[in-house]
Structure 1
Amino acid sequence: MEIIKQRERAYSWGNPLEGVELSKDLSGFEYLMAIKRGEAPASPLINTLDFSLVELEEGKAGFCFEPQEFHYNPNGCVHGGVITAILDSAMGCTLHSLLPKGTVYTTLELKVNFLKMVHFKSGVLTATGKMIHLGNSTALVEASLTDKSGKKYAHAVSTCMLLKNE
């Protein structure tokens, strides 16, 4: 039996705990803008999975990625966890962009529908979040993963609980 040659990948990230401290003095949108400008560290997950923040406004966030081998499962397509992660990132930042200073959130429920197989040929895909409902204690947000022509590959909905950041 032939020994499989392993590939390598290197990347770096900023200290996420520094960002947590910084976020306590900013609204959610101000904090996300600080990340976008490079003044606060992004989540290490973004670098680990090679996602890019491509859209940010109050009530909307978008991330893109280009499927690579390191995203693949043993079946030769992008792992569902990677797709879930980019959808969750778009939904989380969409919600975060609307939070006042001193408020954070955590996911209560996450549902993903996988509509098409994602692989190299899919090209760059973008996950864009959209608010459905923002209440005093819970929020409902959705996101879709699409290609440049608008073809939908996955859709997710998340229920989040709002908390005071202490």
Structure 2
Amino acid sequence: MMRMPEAGFGVVPVERARSMDGLTLFRAIRSGRLPAPPIARVLGFWIDEVEDGRVTFAYEPVLDHYNPIGSVHGGIAATLLDSVMGCSIHTKLEAGTGYTTVEIKINYVRAMTERTGEVRAEGKVINLGSRIATAEGRLTDSAGKLLAHGTTTCLLFPI
């Protein structure tokens, strides 16, 4: 599993990102040929796997992400799921096509703490239309226990 891409963190130049199909873009980030986005550094997650219509991220819960009641803030799980679901859709997009989240629905099943250990968020495309795409996501611990799950609807548009 690769935690820190060799290219580090940064922003892929917009024109370069626009010229690449989504699967090629995410494979380049995963391999370290392109930088991972800054949010990955800030929240401490990394791309674990990338394939057509499916992306997984890994994350290790940390004390810095705790809420006042002693567990990782639910926004971290929501961000991980929103990200992998959107990225799974992005892997199916041709060069010059963008997307944005229109709606997400997250269900929390178990809390994360720093004792949870490494977790995986997996996003899979459900449907890819010409203007709307949907995906589902699951967040699990290392034993495969479900922590949270969700769905997304994304709007597709030319960029």
Instruction: Compute the TM-score of the two structures, normalised by the length of structure 1.
Output: 0.87
Question: 1:93 is matched with which residue?
Answer: 87
Q: Percent identity, aligned pairs only?
A: 40
Question: 2:3 is matched with which residue?
Answer: none
1:111 equivalent to 2:123? Answer no
RMSD: 1.2
Give the one of 46, 54, 63 matched to 1:69. 63
Question: 2:10 is matched with which residue?
Answer: 15
- Deviation track 1:46-78 (CA, whole Å, cap 9, x = no partner) reads 110000111111110000111111111111100
Question: 2:131 is matched with which residue?
Answer: 137
1:38 equivalent to 2:32? Answer yes
Deviation at 1:19, TM superposition (A): 3.5
- Deviation track 1:65-115 (CA, whole Å, cap 9, x = no partner) reads 111111111111001111111111111111111101110100000111011
Q: How many residues align?
A: 152
Structure 2: tracts of 5 or more residues without a match? 1-7
1:146 equivalent to 2:146? Answer no
Q: 1:102 to 1:93 in 2, by over 3 A?
A: same
Contact 1:19 1:41 in 2 (8 A): no
- Matches of 1:20 and 1:36 in 2, distance apart? 18
Q: 1:22 to 1:95 in 2, by over 3 A?
A: same
- Matches of 2:20 and 2:31 in 1, distance apart? 14
Q: Which has the larger radius of gyration?
A: 1
Deviation at 1:15, TM superposition (A): 3.4
